[in-house]
Every structure is written in structure tokens, then in C-alpha cells.
Structure 1
Amino acid sequence: MQALLLICHGSRLKEGSEQAKSFVQQCIESIDTPIKEICFLELAEPSIKEGFETCIKKGATKIAVVPVLLLSANHSKRDIPDELIKLRNQYPAVEITYGRPFGVHESISDLLWEKINNKVSSLKDTSHVLLIGRGSSDPDVKRDLELIAKQLRERYRVPQIQACFLTGSKPRFEDALTKIQEACDQVVIVPYLLFTGLLLKGINKTINEYKGHNEKEIMICEALGYHPILRKVLETRINETLNDKERNAFVPRSLKSYKQISGDSRWR
């Protein structure tokens, strides 16, 4: 029997984990799969192991695993596969397929443009957009967020846009903000985060500190939220995982190999 296991990140804020769970439940309503479960990578329950074993208790012989993550980074290429390797060894008779995160999808630029329009009536020629990602030691995160920024710039003719990061990747948000203020009149901050949480509070704190030292117009857009566009992207990732089992078959590799798999376009 086929099962679908969705893995959310989890949050220190209970509200954040509940928002993620509610979003995923809406996404899987239309998926015709007998067993559907939601679990968390960390900071919330059930764990990946608990979610996986619940699927088996309900009769699953095949489990399609999909990470509900924005970008392909260490969580999707190392942490989750590491758990699945352990579970495969424990339950060798269960067939596992493993999908990909939201990644780089052309429709995401539409969502980002909507967020900008909700905050700014029109961009000036001297406007500069900062697309802020969480960041990671995985270089693919930088590559993918820069590609998303490029798609937004080309599709909607954004005058100037730059990807920056809160941690793990360069340029850092604070450095990028300091640099661009010298050359623009209006800064539009677009957090590439799923929901309002501790990271967004940190961004707001930094912006307030900068506003106290200069007269530049700095505006911050809302987090992505669990938007209908992201719902469609997740539904696409789920159907890919369920319907192309040969391409998405989970074959245990070393962790190093999983990090190298980013060269495959399916991880973008």
C-alpha cells in the first residue's frame, strides 16, 4: 500500500509548526493516496522516525517522502537522507522514494512580486530589492536564491535586486544593507522565509537600527506565508515523487554523495 510522508522543518514557536501542518494538510487533501502523514525534521513532533513508522503501522509497503523545505540544502541532502538510511536498514522491505524541496520554480517569482506590490505601489529607478534567505554552508543555497532573484528581475524588470543571507552564506544581510544604502533612495526587503518567526524578528530589529542612523526609505515585505502558489509547487513535488518512482527511488549513498547530488537538475 502506498503512503505519503511530508517532512516539515519544525519551529521553536508552536504556532509556526501548527501553520506548517495546516498548510500541508490542505495540500494533500486532493492527493489520492491511501496513507498520508506529516512529521517534522526537528523542534516539533512527530519525528521522521515516528511518521515513517506510523505509515508502516497503517499498512504501508511503499513510502513517498517529500521535504517541505524552500531550498535544497543540508537538511534535504544530508539530514533527512541520513534518517531514511537508518529507516531503510530497519525496514528493508519497504520501498522508499524521495522527492525534492520547493527549490527553483518559475512561479515563485510571481509570489515574490505580489509581496513587493503589497508593500510598494511602484519601484523607483533607484530602488534596490534585497531578497533575504536563511543561508547555509551548502553553496547550492546561494546559487539557487541568486537564480530566484534573477528570475524575478527578468520577469518583472526589477531595477536592482540582490540575494543576501542571515547566516552561513555571503553576502550577509547587514553588509548588503550597508553597501546599497549609499547608492539608492529606496530599499525593499523581501524575506525568503515561510512564516513569521524569530528570524523575521531579527530582520526587523536590524532594519530599525539602520533607520535610526539614516533617512533612507526602508520597507520590509511579509514572509512568503503558506500561499496558494506554494501550495501548487508542493503539489507538483508530491506528484513527481509519487509518479516517477524510478527517478526518485531512494538508494542509500554516503552523505558525501547526497551533497553531490545537487548537480542533478531535479534538486533545483
Structure 2
Amino acid sequence: MTTPLLIAGHGTADADGAEEFRRFVARVAARHDAPVAGGFIELSPPPLGEAVADLVAAGARRIAAVPLMLVAAGHAKGDIPAALARERVRHAGLSIAYGRPLGPHPTILGLLRERLAALAPHADTTVLLVGRGSTDPDANADVARAARLLAETTPVAGVEYAFVSLAAPGVPAALERCRRLGARRIAVLPYFLFTGVLPRRVAAQSRAWAAEAGVPVEVAEVIGDCDGLAELVLERWAEATRGDARANCDACLYRVALPGHEHRLGAPQLPHHHPDEPGHQHHHHHAHGH
């Protein structure tokens, strides 16, 4: 039997964003010849545990889980593996193969170019790619890498990057940097899968800065629920089921003592407590082993 697919989302306080994730799970399910379930690690229903329980109830003994995330930050490296370790304890005999985050895959870059093209950019447009932002240097470097790959493959004046939370430069500071570098017009490209609190904040901050600075700024749509994204998730599913999903551990702050982050070396990973989970679960410690 084809291995069932578990899609692990972050969760959002934004009802539209959560609904977009659920629609996307249905889109992937229509393309997969085994059950597909999706759940969130925090903030919105259904919790990941409920999605696993649904697959087990449908007869799953082995599941391939794909973290629906653009960067490998704490969630993909720690929270989700810890949550999956907890599910293995809950469901005796269940095995779970864990896939890679999406990353700056050519499919993702292609979708970003599509969202950018909808703004009809000129050759003198400067693009600002805005990621979520993390306390993990490796995850923030992934956003910079995506920006550079876009710059290499898109006929624009240049691609800068920014973060909407937890890391600098923030959106206004990065827009100001673009202006100082001589940007005539700026296209803000949110590096987000679905709408939510943070993508809305990116748009609001961009428009507020543009009104004050007098530089034309347009904001592109998020990647969104689409066929290209569904195909990539199934590619990550195939990797996981074959057992050849490899994580990039070269600059992982749980494995390498990065300056300023030494206290995180070898830290045990704990799952989030999801508010929709029944009762308070005791945390199962999961040694970091992505």
C-alpha cells in the first residue's frame, strides 16, 4: 500500500490562513493514492496528534510526515520531530518517516517568480524578499539564500531580504536600505506559504513606509494553495518514503557551537502543547536527531 502522508503545518491565529492550509491538504489528497491528513503544531485546529490519529484509524502503520515550512528553523528541526516522537509513544507499532522542509527548491523559486510577475516588475525594480525571521541563524541564512537564488534567476535590479520578526533587518529598515542603494521602485515579496498575521503585517509595514518615503512600493501575494506547491510536497513525501531525506546539519545550532548560541548545543527538543489536544500531555524528550 502507498504510504499515507501527514502534512505538518505551523498554525496561525488567522482564520483565513488556517482555512487555506486545510484547502491545500485537500488538494494534495486529491493527488495521492493513500490517505492524507494535515495538522498544526500550535495555534489552530486540527492539532498534529489528531491528524495522526485519523491516519492510524484508517489503518496506517507507517506514515511519511512532511513539514510544510519554507525554512528549517526550530519548528522543523525540533518541535515537529518531538511531536512525532510523542505520537510514536501514543500509537504502539507506528513508524514515521520524516521529510525535509520545502526550502528554496526550484519549484518554490518558480512560484515566487510567478507572484512577482503578477506585479509586472521592470528591469529597474528592486525586490525585497521578506521571511518570517527566527532566532536560528541557519534558518535566517536560508532566507538570504533564497534571495540570492532569486537574484540569479530573475531579471530585476536586485534582491534584498528582510524579516518580519525576531531578526534584523525588519521591513522598514530593509526598505530604507533599498532606497539608499538607489531603488526607483520596490516589489515586496512575502516568503510565506499562506496568508496570516505576519504576511498581513509585512504588507501594512510596507505601505506605511512607502507613504512616508515617497518611493513606489508594491506588495506581492503569498505563495498560496496551488498545484505547484502540492507537487513539491509529494516530492518531499517520496524522498521520505525512500529514506533518502537528508537534513543540512553544517550550521545547525543544535549540533555546532555557533557564537552567541552555545547554550543550544545538544538541547533536548520538546513538542509544543497544542491547545486543542485533550488534557495536558507529559512531554516526551526527544534528543535532537534530525
Correspondence for 2:134: 136
Q: Distance in 1 between matches of 2:121 and 2:147?
A: 20
Q: Which moved more, 1:200-209 or 1:72-81?
A: 200-209
Tell me the TM-score normalised to structure 1 length: 0.85
SS class of match (1:97): strand
For 1:18, the equivalent position in structure 2 comes to 19
The reply to whether residue 96 of structure 1 matches residue 69 of structure 2 is: no
RMSD: 2.2
Q: Which runs of 4+ in 1 moved over 4 A?
A: none
Q: Distance in 2 between matches of 1:163 and 1:208?
A: 17
**Aligned counterpart, 1:70:** 70
Of Structure 1 and Structure 2, the greater helix share is in: 1
Are residues 190 and 246 of structure 1, via their aligned partners in 2, closer, same or farther at CA, if it must alter by over 3 Å?
closer
Q: Note if contact 2:64-2:99 (Cα within 8 Å) is conserved in structure 1.
A: yes
Q: Counterparts in 2 of 1:1-268, with a 5 A limit?
A: 2-33=3-34, 35-124=35-124, 127-182=125-180, 183-242=182-241, 244-245=242-243, 254-255=268-269, 258=288, 261=290
* 1:37–1:204 CA distance, 2 compared to 1 (3 A): closer
Answer yes or no: is the 8 Å Cα contact 1:133–1:192 preserved in 2. Answer: yes
User: Is contact 1:8-1:39 (8 Å) kept?
Assistant: yes
How many residue pairs get aligned? The number is 252
Q: For residues 246 and 150 of structure 1, do their structure 2 counterparts lie closer, same or farther at Cα, with a shift above 3 Å needed?
A: closer
| C-alpha distance 173-235 of structure 1, shift in aligned 2 (>3 A) | same
Give the residue type in structure 2 aligned to 1:78.
G
Sequence identity, in percent? 29
Would you say the 8 A contact 1:132–1:189 is kept in 2? yes
Which shifted more, 232-241 or 82-91? Answer: 82-91
Structure 2: 5+ residue stretches without partners: 247-266, 270-285
The offset of 1:68, in angstroms, is 1.5
What letter matches 1:194 in structure 2? L
Contact 2:116 2:187 in 1 (8 A): yes
* Local SS of the residue matching 2:212: coil
**Would the alpha carbon gap of residues 179 and 51 (structure 1) be closer, same or farther in structure 2, given more than 3 Å must change?**
same
Alpha-carbon distance change, 254 to 178 in structure 1, aligned in 2, over 3 angstroms: same
Contact 1:188 1:221 in 2 (8 A): yes
Q: What is the TM-score with the length of structure 2 in the denominator?
A: 0.79
Moved more, 73-82 or 83-92: 83-92
Shift of 1:165: 0.4
Distance 1:176-1:239 versus aligned 2 partners, 3 A rule: same
Instruction: List alignment gaps of at least 5 residues for structure 1.
Output: 262-268
Deviation digits for residues 184-212 of structure 1 (CA, Å, limit 9, x no counterpart): 21111111112233223222322232233
Aligned counterparts of 1:99 and 1:247: Cα–Cα separation in 2: 6
Note closer, same or farther for the CA distance 1:257–1:174 as it changes in structure 2 (3 Å cut).
farther
CA distance in 2, matches of 1:121, 1:80: 38
